């Protein structure tokens, strides 16, 4: 498939973008190349790299709005966990599809997932055409045979282990307090064997740190360092409660962190220590977390809240800029998740979103990134291309109504 996008703003200049297969082949002025699909932006749209949601639990969209304004323990134990007990593979399939509709609408082309029923997620992501890292979850309290299950999936879907595959995997031990030392070491081994990333919750709450210290006489990152878990393949969601020493370890081991500002604030987990992390130049990407604890899948509004929260916390409006949070959701995330994207450049994967510059929130046009972060949000996305295929055209996604209908039925069962 060849797509030619004409007269599109790339920064301050109008250019053309030519997509061949799943890559950006050429960027220039007045490209006259044969294409199967032509999009003339007429200078009324801008192109940006597709956003990357670095930590989410998509199917939790089924629980959105069910349990609000509650403390974390109550939220989890009294509301979410009992509901999750009842979830079927079919629920997760339709729930994931519903969440992916929302992500595509908000300009997200890739997501780093962690939830149950992985094969349902694989089907959902493939059918929606999105780039996904499906987390193969490890949790001690799940039925035995989980390791075997993970190995079976890796063997069944071995074609996904190739470079630039639209769907690929992470090994996803849930957290240090739910996965044994033995299983963490196994996770690390299997990730190394298949060159996969390790996706895990880390130091989300102060309680987690306290319990870890009590059990191991070490803080969580010190514990992970001791068991040899840490390297550049690690991507840690939340990572709020970090000591200076832990930050130094994470830096030394080249680990990647995910900032989840809305969820962290809504559940009162804590504030991500951006100031120290920035100083040490540790790579940070951005995630929405699951839609039951955010409750949005709009990474642009996550950027706004993420920036504002750091500014007010440190009393310094210069501590983080619109451009910095935007990079968290694009370039940084691409590096952390080993996606050859996050930028619009020749040779990169064709994961591109178009922004409708005529949307009121983008007026005046002084600064597009600032407008998108602080004023607009994902509703200004008009078209979404992922892996060289058009997923959304002028706000329309194939099967949206059907997916809403089917998801609604599953919601009634909960």
Q: Which residue ranges make up the site for a copy of itself (CB under 8 A)?
A: 61-66, 68-72, 75, 98, 101-102, 105, 262, 264-268, 270-271, 291, 294-296, 298, 301, 304-305, 307-309, 311-312, 315-318, 320-322, 358, 360-361, 363-367, 370-371, 374-377, 379, 400, 404, 407-408, 411
Minimum distance from residue 369 beta carbon to a copy of itself (Å): 9
Q: How many of the other CB atoms lie within 10 Å of CB of 34?
A: 8
CA distance 333 to 54: 6
Nearer to a copy of itself, 89 or 316 (CB): 316
Task: Tell me how far, at minimum, the Cβ of 252 lies from a copy of itself, in Å.
Answer: 30
Nearer to a copy of itself, 150 or 392 (CB): 392
* Shortest Å, Cβ 209 to a copy of itself: 15
- For a copy of itself, the closer CB: 130 or 262: 262
d(CA 256, CA 107): 23
d(CA 283, CA 163): 22
Least distance to a copy of itself, CB of residue 215, Å: 24
**Farthest CA pair distance, the chain:** 66
Nearer to a copy of itself, 168 or 269 (CB): 269
Cα 394 to Cα 384: distance, rounded to the nearest angstrom:
9
* Contact criterion met (CB below 8 Å) for 319 and 126: no
Residue 115: CB minimum distance to a copy of itself, A: 17
- Cα gap 120→98, rounded to integer Å: 13
Listing DSSP states for 377-396 in one string gives: -GGGEEEEEETTEEEEBTTB
Is-contact 121 92, C-beta < 8 A? yes
| Smallest gap from residue 157 Cβ to a copy of itself (A) | 29
Nearer to a copy of itself, 190 or 292 (CB): 292
CA distance 242 to 351: 34
Cβ proximity to a copy of itself, 50 vs 377, nearer residue? 377
Which token pair is 156?
């069944």
């Amino acid at each position: 498939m060849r797509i030619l996008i004409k007269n599109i703003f790339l920064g301050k200049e109008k250019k053309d973008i030519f997509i061949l297969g799943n890559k950006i082949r050429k960027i220039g002025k007045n490209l006259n190349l044969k294409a199967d699909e032509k999009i003339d932006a007429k200078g009324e749209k801008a192109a940006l790299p597709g956003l990357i949601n670095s930590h989410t639990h998509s199917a939790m969209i089924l629980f959105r709005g069910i349990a609000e304004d509650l403390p974390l323990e109550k939220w989890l134990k009294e509301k979410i966990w009992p509901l999750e007990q009842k979830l079927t593979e079919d629920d997760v399939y339709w729930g994931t599809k519903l969440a992916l509709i929302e992500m595509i609408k908000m300009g997200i082309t890739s997501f780093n997932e962690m939830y149950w029923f992985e094969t349902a997620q694989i089907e959902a992501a493939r059918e929606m055409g999105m780039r996904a890292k499906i987390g193969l979850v490890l949790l001690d309290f799940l039925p035995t045979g989980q390791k075997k299950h993970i190995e079976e999936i890796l063997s069944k879907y071995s074609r996904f282990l190739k470079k630039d595959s639209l769907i690929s995997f992470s090994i996803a031990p849930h957290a240090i307090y739910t996965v044994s030392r033995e299983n963490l070491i196994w996770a690390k081994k299997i990730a190394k064997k298949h060159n996969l990333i390790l996706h895990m919750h880390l130091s989300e709450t102060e309680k987690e740190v306290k319990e870890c210290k009590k059990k191991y006489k070490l803080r969580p990152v010190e514990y992970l360092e001791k068991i040899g878990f840490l390297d550049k393949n690690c991507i840690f969601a939340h990572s709020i409660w970090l000591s200076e020493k832990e930050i130094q370890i994470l830096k030394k081991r080249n680990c990647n962190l995910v900032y989840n500002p809305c969820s962290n604030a809504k559940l009162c987990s804590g504030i991500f220590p951006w100031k120290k992390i920035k100083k040490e130049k540790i790579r940070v990407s951005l995630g929405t977390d699951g839609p039951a604890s955010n409750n949005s899948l709009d990474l642009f509004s996550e950027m706004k809240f993420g920036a504002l929260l750091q500014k007010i916390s440190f009393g310094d409006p210069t501590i983080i800029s619109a451009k910095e949070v935007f990079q968290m959701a694009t370039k940084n995330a691409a590096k952390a998740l080993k996606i050859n994207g996050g930028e619009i450049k020749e040779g990169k994967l064709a994961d591109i979103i178009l922004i409708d510059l005529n949307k009121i929130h983008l007026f005046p046009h002084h600064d597009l990134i600032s407008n998108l972060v602080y004023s607009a949000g994902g509703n200004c996305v008009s078209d979404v291309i992922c892996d060289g295929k058009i997923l959304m055209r002028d706000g329309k996604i194939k099967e949206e109504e059907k997916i809403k209908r089917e998801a609604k039925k599953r919601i009634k069962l909960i």
